[in-house]
Amino acid sequence: MTSRLEFWQGNIASAEGALAAGCRFFGGYPITPSTEVAEHMAVKLPKKGGVFIQMEDELASIASVIGAAWTGARAMTATSGPGFSLMMENIGYAVMTETPCVIVNVQRGGPSTGQPTMAAQGDMMQCRFGSHGDYAIIALCPASVQEMYDLTVKAFNLADRFRVPVFLMADEVIGHMRERIIVPETVEHTGRPAFVAGTPPFKPAAGSLIPGFPEFGKGYGTHVTGLTHDERGYPCATNPGLHATLVKRLVDKIESATEELADFDVINPDAEQVFIAYGAPVRTVQQVIADHKGKNIGFLRIRTVWPFPSHALALFKKAKRFIVPELNLGQIAREIERHTNIPVMSVPKLGGDLHTPAELSGIWEAKA
């Protein structure tokens, strides 16, 4: 058997990607527009010897995922805005305890219950900063059904490697649309950093910022706590230096790998007008470029949004303006402004409609 062609919905592709990656635990709660991920896992996981459990709410969903992850299982959940808000508490716990897990957020219009069936990208800052305290995570943004699959696989590998929650920040359009997808025969599988028995469980090996993973049930006797802990995992919450060292390591292990984690495409790097997009707006920019064949339209198309690949901006050496269409009021446009002196034009869109190619062409033509 080789790779095969399928015609799938984005959410199904994410679930299939998870199964291919070896995900064997899904704890979830129904919520539009992500529910198909849970439904598909409910059908498929038991047949693969895995566990699907519908928990009583999203607080419990992510908690069960973290518990399962400590037994060594690859574990995930899927949700949307309101559920994502509930998960923030235990996402912080996963960060603090360095628990590998994957969280799919098929974004819908917010705040609050908002627009359950409409696309948005309003949770991009929440996924970065939504839990309390300083920390860093990894967030991937798919712009096709193919990427719902590929980036879910990648999310598991990164979660294991960096021992951090990894977010697949999709949106309703990408989650619900159906298109062709090439399903590979096999996928890459990166394991968790190996734990050496008898060593302090939260002490990274020399030259690394990521400790080995002391899976439960092997007799390591690891104490895992969300309290500030020392390298033995023991609570040590009133030691200022120890807390600072721990939190800096949790941030550094992600941010120091920014260039390695970066995943973006550069189109027409000598253009003066440069679009920057992730998720569904990528599709509109691609249409604009297709509609203007031979025109020098720059495009930075980002898949790894967090940590933000700021070094990519400098690849557009003649850029006079970055144009950033987003399904929010400019969350990532502000992040881009932080990294460049070149003017950044945010093109926000709320309500669930995508930007039209004509809208974005008009912006480009006005200065072209």
Partner 1 sequence: MSFEDWFRQDRLPHIYCAGCGNGTIINCTLAAVDSMGWKKEDTVFVSGIGCSSRAPGYIVTDSLHTTHGRALAFATGVKMANPKLHVVVFTGDGDLAAIGGNHFIHACRRNIDLTVVCMNNQIYGMTGGQGSPTTPRGCLSTTTPYGCAEPAFDLSELAIAAGANYVSRWTSYHVKELERAVKAGLETPGFSFIEALVQCPTNFGRRNKFRQVADQIEYLKAHSLLKAKRDRMLEQGEAIPEDMYIVGELMRRSRPAMGLPPAEAKP
- Provide the β-strand partners of residue 28: 54
**Count of residues of this chain found to bind partner 1 when the rule CB under 8 A is applied:** 42
The smaller minimum CB distance to partner 1, of residues 30 and 235, is found at: 235
- Tell me if 361 sits within 8 A of 292, measured CB to CB: yes
* Candidates 135-143, 223-231, 312-320, 328-336; binding stretch for partner 1 (CB under 8 A): 223-231
Identify whether the C-beta of residue 15 lies closer than 8 Å to the C-beta of residue 44: yes
Q: Does 220 bind partner 1 (CB under 8 A)?
A: yes
**What does 63-127 look like in DSSP terms, one character per residue?**
HHHHHHHHTT-EEEEEE-HHHHHHHHHHHHHHHHHT--EEEEEEEEE-STT-EEEEE--TTHHHH
Asked if residue 142 has a cis previous peptide bond (ω within 30° of 0), the answer is no
90 contributes a contact to partner 1 by CB under 8 A: yes
Residue 39 found at the interface with partner 1 (CB under 8 A): no
Q: Quote the DSSP letter at residue 204.
A: P
Among 12, 63, 119, 276, binds partner 1 (CB under 8 A): 63
Q: Residue 28, class by beta-carbon neighbours within 10 Å (0-12 exposed, 13-18 middle, 19+ buried)?
A: buried
User: Which window, 15-23, 71-79, 300-308, 331-339, contacts partner 1 (CB under 8 A)?
Assistant: 71-79
CB of 205 to partner 1, least distance (A): 21
Under the binding rule (CB under 8 A), the answer on residue 343 touching partner 1 is no
70 binds partner 1 (CB under 8 A): yes
Minimum distance, C-beta of residue 25 to partner 1, in the bound complex (Å): 5
Give the residue among 178, 174, 143 at the shortest CA–CA distance from 9. 178
Of 216 and 264, which CB lies nearer to partner 1 in the complex structure?
216
CA distance 5 to 13: 12
Stretch that binds partner 1, among 146-154, 231-239, 254-262, 338-346 (CB under 8 A): 231-239
Closer to partner 1 by CB, 59 or 262: give it: 59
Q: Can residue 53 be called a binding residue for partner 1 (CB under 8 A)?
A: yes
Stretch that binds partner 1, among 117-125, 135-143, 230-238, 354-362 (CB under 8 A): 230-238
Residue 185 as a binder of partner 1 (CB under 8 A): the answer is no
Instruction: Using the minimum distance from each CB to partner 1, give the nearer residue, 218 or 248.
Output: 218
Peptide bond into 33 cis (omega under 30): yes
Residue 24 interacting with partner 1 (CB under 8 A): yes
For residue 231, which of 242, 221, 239 has the smallest C-alpha distance?
A: 242
Q: Is residue 216 close enough to count as binding partner 1 by CB under 8 A?
A: yes
Instruction: Give yes or no for a contact between 356 and 364, defined as CB atoms under 8 angstroms apart.
Output: no
| Contact stretch for partner 1 (CB under 8 A) within 20-28, 141-149, 272-280, 327-335 | 20-28
Angle between helix 357-367 and 281-291 (nearest 10)? 60
Q: Which residues bind partner 1 (CB under 8 A)?
A: 24-25, 27, 51, 53, 55-57, 59-61, 63-73, 75, 89-90, 93, 214, 216-227, 232, 234-235
